[in-house]
A and B are shown apart, each in its own frame.
Chain A
Amino acid sequence: GNSVTQMEGPVTLSEEAFLTINCTYTATGYPSLFWYVQYPGEGLQLLLKATKADDKGSNKGFEATYRKETTSFHLEKGSVQVSDSAVYFCALSDIAQGGSEKLVFGKGTKLTVNP
């Protein structure tokens, strides 16, 4: 079945450092890809998405490009802030017959940014 593999954490960076969190996927067809963020004690918030190959999703300084040839959707940010400390989840949309879908998530990567 479809699956997502993302970089194991935790990741600890200093403020203003460059961030990359790797995500690769296995899927039949061309799923939509997502990055969600979870702050301590909260639910998931959609950070960015891409629906087809070569699309670049971006939000709040974060970016990720849908690479079909490498089946990847790596998350990047040029200069992280303390407020970016959270758990980041890569996910794909798995569409079933009949049009229903589910999100398939990676295990999450915990990011801590120190001042």
Chain B
Amino acid sequence: DAGVTQSPTHLIKTRGQQVTLRCSPKSGHDTVSWYQQALGQGPQFIFQYYEEEERQRGNFPDRFSGHQFPNYSSELNVNALLLGDSALYLCASRTGSSYEQYFGPGTRLTVT
């Protein structure tokens, strides 16, 4: 049983560019959350998707947007990249009946 998968593993972008990160949840999971983990910090919640809708959003600007597809996979989009967006982006999934979240390996984004 594949766990949560994310792509790409690493990404280097230039300030002002746009980026799309992808996540496939663990089999049987329908709820996907995204977190940003800056170097040396704990993960910060960006948003959560369920039934293709954004259910809750953390304290992130509108440059951060997302999408969930009918197969429950998800994308995180970041526009107008800033140097401060450099971080590890983690995707987590869970079933609707449990609050236990399973994390993917993350995408390391570097903005130069």
Contacts from A to B (Cβ < 8 Å): 4, 32, 36, 42-46, 49, 89, 91, 93, 95-96, 98, 100-108
Contact = CB atoms under 8 A, between A and B. Distances in A.
Query: What 3 pairs across the A-B complex have the smallest Cβ distances?
Result: A105-B42, A100-B55, A102-B45
Interface stretch (B13-21, B69-77, B100-108): B100-108
B112 interface: no
Given A46-B103, A103-B35, A107-B40, 18 more contacts: A44-B90, A44-B103, A45-B103, A46-B101, A89-B42, A89-B43, A91-B42, A95-B99, A98-B55, A100-B56, A102-B56, A103-B43, A103-B45, A103-B92, A103-B101, A105-B42, A107-B42, A108-B41
A102 B41 contact: no
Contacts, number: 59
A45 B100 CA distance: 11
Contacts of B44: 105
B90 A43 contact: yes
Contact of B106 (A4, A43, A95, A103): A43
B50 A104 contact: no
Contact of B50 (A49, A100, A102, A107): A100
Which DSSP category, helix, strand, loop or mixed, fits chain A's interface? strand
Contacts of B90: 43-44
B56 A104 contact: no
A4 B44 CA distance: 12
Interface string B31-50: 00101000011111100101
B95 to A, nearest CB: 13
Contact of B102 (A42, A46, A95, A107): A46
A42 B56 CA distance: 26
Contacts of B8: none
A9 to B, nearest CB: 10
